[in-house]
Amino acid sequence: MLTLIKNGEIYAPHYLGKKDLLIVDQKIGFISEQITIPENFVDITVLDAEGKLVVPGFIDAHVHITGGGGEGSFHTRTPELQLTDATLSGVTTIIGVIGTDGTTRTMSNLIAKARGLEEEGITCFVQTGSYQVPLKTLTGKIEDDIILVDKIIGVGEVAIADHRSSQPTVEEMAKIASAARIGGLLSGKAGIVNVHVGDSYDHLKVIEEVVERTDIPIRQFYPTHINRNPHLFEEGIRFAKKGGYVDFTTSTIPKFFDEGEVKCSIGLKRMLDMQIDISQITFTSDGQASLPDFDEFGELLGLKLGKVETLFKEVRAAVLEEGIPLEVALRVITQNPATILKLNKKGMISEGKDADLVLLNKEDYSINTVFALGKRMVEDGKAIVKGTFE
Ligand code: ZN
C-alpha cells in the first residue's frame, strides 16, 4: 500500500521544509523534494498537503486506557478509552497505566485493552503496577514482566507524596527502580519508573533519596503531574536542573488553576526560561483518569474525566499563546517521550520510522488528517475509522 503526501511542510519535529513524503505500507519510505509517479503506476493514493504542516503522530505516555479512578465509590470508576478519543486528538501511540485502583483494574485487563487498541489501528504499550507498593505485576516480578511480556515497557504509575499512595519508603522505591532497570537492560526496553507525584509537601523526596543513596541514575524515574501545584512545580525545576525528567499533565479543571495548578503551556515556557533542556520535558494527558476534587479534610467533593484531547491543545497553546516555536513545543509529545521510553520507531519523521503522522491546518494549527501505521484514521478533522463499539 502506497500513499504519497505532496507539498506539506514537514516538522520532523525539527523543520525539514516543504517536501513530499511516501508512505510504504506501515512505514515512512521516502522523503524528498519532489516525488513523481510514473503514469499508470500501480495503486497509490495521492494527498495534496498544500497549506498543511506534517508532524509526527503524538505519543501520550500516561493514559488510563481501561478507565481509572473510583474515588467516589464504584459508580465513579471511569470508562475505557475509545479509539477515536486518541485518533481525533492526533495521538497514535499510547502508554496505558492502571492508577489508583489496583484491585479491580488488573494487568491482564490492561494488556488486553492495549491489544484491542492495536487491533483497531494505533500503537499501545503499558506499564506494570499501579499506585500501590508492593506492586501487583502480571507474572509476580517486575523484571519478569518487562523481560517476558512484549507490551510491558516499564513500571507505573507508582504513587508518592499523596494521601492515596501507600507511602513507599526509600528502600522500597530503590528495589522497584533496580528491578525496572534490570528488566529494561535485559530486554532493550526503557524500564523506567513512572511516578505519580501528589500534592503532599514531600514532593520528589523519596526518589531523590534513592538517587542520592544508590547509584541508580536520576533518569530511571519519570515523575508526572509536576505542574499540579506551584510548590511541586518549583521542585520540578530543581529536579530537572539535576538532570531528571519532568512530565506535565494536560487534563485539568478550572478549579485546579484557581488552586495554583500551572497551565502546561505556561509551565513549558517557564522551564525553558529557567534553562531546562527541552529534551527533559514531556506532556501527557492522564486521559480517562478521574480528576477528583477533595476538601481540606480529604472528603471527595466531585470528579471529572481526564481527556486525551488536552494533550495537543496545550502544545498548540504553547505555540500560539507563549510564542514557543512549533518544532520545540512539538518535542514534548513526539521525540522526547519516544527517546525516554525507547520507542525507536516513533516520535520522528524520517525514513524507516512508523508512518504515524498528523497533518495540521497551517492557519490555526488544528488537526486535519491523522495516519496511524500508514492508515488514514482521520480526514478533515473527522474520524473515518471508528473503534469496535463506537
Ligand atoms: Zn497519576
Confidence bin at 255 (pLDDT 50/70/90): confident
pLDDT for 228: 94
User: What percent of the chain shows pLDDT beyond 70?
Assistant: 100
Q: How far is the CA of 121 from the centre of ligand 1 (A)?
A: 26
Average pLDDT, integer, range 259-285: 97
**Residues β-bridged to residue 73:** 71
Q: 270: CA distance to ligand 1 center in Å?
A: 22
- One-letter amino acid for residue 135 of the chain: L
- Kindly give, in sequence order, each residue whose CB lies less than 8 Å from that of residue 99, ignoring residues fewer than 6 positions away: 64, 68, 69, 105, 130, 131, 157, 196, 289
At 303, is the pLDDT very low, low, confident or very high (cuts 50, 70, 90)? confident
Distance in angstroms (rounded) separating the CA atoms of residues 205 and 201: 9
The pLDDT, as a whole number, for residue 317 is 98
219 Cα: distance to centroid of ligand 1 (angstroms): 19
Per-residue model confidence (pLDDT) at position 294: 76
State whether residue 371 is helix, strand or coil.
strand
157 Cα–ligand 1 center, Å:
6
Phi, psi angle pair for 180, to nearest 5°: -65, -40
171 vs 292, which has greater pLDDT?
Answer: 171
Q: Say how many Å lie between the CA of residue 101 and the centre of ligand 1.
A: 11
Select which of 286, 295, 354, 356 is catalytic: 286
Q: What is the pLDDT of residue 41?
A: 82
Residues 6 or more apart whose CB falls under 8 angstroms from that of 213 comprise 170, 174
- Measure 286 CA to ligand 1 centroid, in angstroms: 7
Ligand 1 center–CA 198 separation, angstroms: 8
Q: Which of 74-83, 290-299, 322-331 has the lowest mean pLDDT?
A: 290-299
44 contacts 77 by C-beta, under 8 angstroms: no
Average pLDDT over residues 187-208: 96
pLDDT value for 293: 79
- Residues in contact with 73: Cβ distance below 8 Å, sequence separation at least 6, in sequence order: none
Report the alpha-carbon distance of residue 174 to residue 144 in Å, rounded.
17
Length of the chain: 390
Residue 221 has pLDDT above 80, yes or no: yes
Question: Higher-confidence residue: 55 or 291?
Answer: 55
Gyration radius from the chain CA atoms? 20
Residue 302 has pLDDT above 80, yes or no: no
Q: Please list the alpha-helical segments (H only) found in 263-309.
A: 264-273
According to the model, what pLDDT value does residue 37 have? Answer: 85
Which residues are CB-neighbours of 55 under 8 A, at least 6 positions away? 10, 11, 13, 326, 330, 334, 349, 357, 358, 359, 360
Is 110:96 a contact under the CB 8 Å cutoff? yes
The whole-angstrom separation of Cα 166 and Cα 161 is 9
258 catalytic residue (yes or no) = no
Using the mean position of ligand 1's atoms as its centre, give its distance from the Cα of residue 148 in Å. Answer: 26
Query: What pLDDT, on a 0 to 100 scale, did the predictor assign at position 305?
Result: 92
Q: Where are the alpha helices (DSSP H) in the chain?
A: 83-87, 107-120, 142-148, 170-187, 205-213, 230-241, 254-258, 264-273, 310-320, 326-329, 335-340
Q: What is the mean pLDDT of residues 254-266?
A: 90
How far is C-alpha 81 from the geometric centre of its chain's CA atoms? 14
Q: What is the pLDDT of residues 309-335, one digit of tens each?
A: 999 999 999 999 999 999 999 999 999
Residue 50 C-alpha to ligand 1 middle, in angstroms? Answer: 40
Whole-number Å distance between alpha carbons of 108 and 119: 17
Band the pLDDT of 234: cuts 50, 70, 90: very high
Sign of the torsion angle spanned by Cα atoms 357, 361, 367, 370: negative
pLDDT digits (tens, 9 = 90+) for 17-35: 999 999 999 999 999 999 9
Per-residue pLDDT at 38 exceeds 90: no
Strand residue runs (E) in the chain:
2-11, 15-24, 27-32, 44-48, 52-56, 58-63, 91-96, 123-128, 152-160, 192-197, 221-224, 246-249, 281-284, 290-294, 300-305, 357-361, 367-372, 375-379, 382-383
**What is the overall mean pLDDT for the chain?**
96
48 CA to centre of ligand 1 in angstroms: 41
**Residue 115's CB: how many other CB atoms inside 10 A?**
13
Which pLDDT score, from 0 to 100, does residue 21 have?
A: 98
What are 98-146's pLDDT values in tens digits?
Answer: 999 999 999 999 999 999 999 999 999 999 999 999 999 999 999 999 9
- Position 311 scores a pLDDT of 98
